[in-house]
Amino acid sequence: MERQKYEEIKGKALALYEKAGIILTEEEKTSIEVVDFGLHNIEVTGLQLITYVNTEKVCAKELALLPNQTCPEHKHPKRDFDEGKEETFRCRYGKVYLYVEGNETETRSAHPPQGDEENYTVFHELILSPGQQYTIYPNTLHWFKSGEDGAVISEFSTKSTDESDVFTDSRIIRVPMM
Amino acid identity for residue 169 in this structure = D
Burial tier of 1 (Cβ tally within 10 Å: 0-12, 13-18, 19+): middle
Say what the pTM is: 0.95
Can you tell me whether residue 13 is helix, strand or coil?
helix
In angstroms, the CA 21 to CA 4 distance is: 26
CATH topology of domain 3-167: Jelly Rolls (2.60.120)
* Structure confidence by residue, pLDDT tens digits, 106-164: 999 999 999 999 999 999 999 999 999 999 999 999 999 999 999 999 999 999 998 89
E strand intervals along 21-170: 33-35, 47-54, 59-65, 70-75, 87-100, 124-128, 133-136, 142-157, 166-167
State the sign of the Cα–Cα–Cα–Cα dihedral 166, 169, 175, 178: negative
| Mean pLDDT, the chain, whole residue set | 95
Query: So what's the pLDDT on residue 1?
Result: 82
Query: So what's the pLDDT on residue 175?
Result: 63
- Alpha helices, DSSP H only, in 35-168? none
pLDDT average, residue stretch 46-64: 97
**For the chain, counts of helices (H) and of strands (E):** 2, 9
Amino acid identity for residue 44 in this structure = V
